[in-house]
Amino acid sequence: MSTDLDAEELKFLAMGASRANSPEQALVYLKHALQAAPEDGELLYLLAAEHAQLGMYDRAAEEMTRALALRPDMYTARLQLGLLHLGAARVDAATDTLRPLTNLDANNCFHHFALGLEHLMRDRFSACRSALEQGIALNNVNAPLNGDMRKIIDALPDDSVAENEGNVWLSAYRQDDASH
């Protein structure tokens, strides 16, 4: 029996290190796991999430793009990549990334999150708020993602504020943690 850790074991060790706020150890585990399973989209996504946590947004976006090429069904990765593109003011890339999520069933939280972000890109703040709130209500499995969506809602101007104050949220969101 081999004493070498396999990719799945390394993935779980990386997730534990990440939860323990040890990004350097999480990165080591993930890089070793990817050596064993270089075509594993989930491992690439987890590596991207760690890089985003560290503020390495361009690297995170590149890794998430590669992860989605391998596993286009990772909705959280797709949403996070859309957020990374928005944070870098790459609106066209964000729109293209989020489009598959808008085609999901209306009972799927990612459908509403993507619609909310599309409304945000067009400075339709009330519609954005409503869609994100619907997504939060439907999402009962990923509390950190709901926290990210709540940060966007909290950064939106009040409905009474003129709708032409758009994209102020981008700088506020970019300064906060956007990698869940």
CA distances to 43, 102, 129 from 29, rounded to whole Å, are 10, 34, 38
Q: What is the pLDDT of residue 165?
A: 52
Q: Are residues 179 and 98 in the same domain?
A: yes
Question: What 3-state class would DSSP assign to 101?
Answer: helix
Would 133 be classed as within a structural domain? yes
Predicted pLDDT of residue 1: 72
Q: What is the pLDDT of residue 47?
A: 98
Q: Is residue 80 part of a domain?
A: no
Question: With contact defined as beta carbons under 8 Å apart, do 27 and 43 qualify?
Answer: no
Residues 177 and 112 in one domain: yes
Same domain for 15 and 99? no
3-state helix, strand, coil in the chain (%, to 5): 70, 0, 30
67 and 123 assigned to the same domain: no
Residue 176 predicted with pLDDT over 60: no
Q: Give the count of beta carbons closer than 10 Å to the beta carbon of residue 171.
A: 12
Q: What is the model's pTM? A: 0.84
The CATH number that applies at residue 64 is 1.25.40.10
Confidence class of residue 27 from pLDDT cuts 50, 70 and 90?
very high
Band of the pLDDT at 3, cuts 50, 70, 90? Answer: confident
Examine the domain organization and report whether 13 and 95 are in the same domain. no
Mean pLDDT of 90-118: 98
Does residue 172 register a pLDDT over 50?
no
Task: Tell me, yes or no, whether 151 lies in a domain.
Answer: yes
- Alpha carbon distance 72, 21 (integer Å): 28
Number of H helices, E strands in the chain: 10, 0
68 & 95 share domain? no
pLDDT for the residue numbered 160: 66
Mean pLDDT of the chain, nearest integer: 91
Whether the per-residue pLDDT at 21 is higher than 80: the answer is yes
Q: Which domain holds residue 121?
A: 90-180
Q: Is the dihedral of CA 103, 119, 179, 81 positive or negative?
A: positive
The answer to whether residue 161 scores a pLDDT higher than 70 is no
Question: Is residue 12 scored above 90 in pLDDT?
Answer: yes
pLDDT over 60 (residue 170): no
Looking at the fold, whether 28 and 64 belong to one and the same domain comes out as yes
Count of domains observed in the chain: 2
Residue type, 88: A
- Round to whole Å and give the CA distance between 12 and 40: 14
Q: Do 12 and 31 touch, CB atoms closer than 8 A?
A: no
Q: With bands split at pLDDT 50, 70 and 90, how would you rate the model's confidence at 178?
A: very low
Boundary (domain end) residue, out of 27, 47, 73: 73
Mean pLDDT, residues 138-154 taken together: 96
Summarised one tens digit per residue, pLDDT across range 35-76 is 999 999 999 999 999 999 999 999 999 999 999 999 999 999
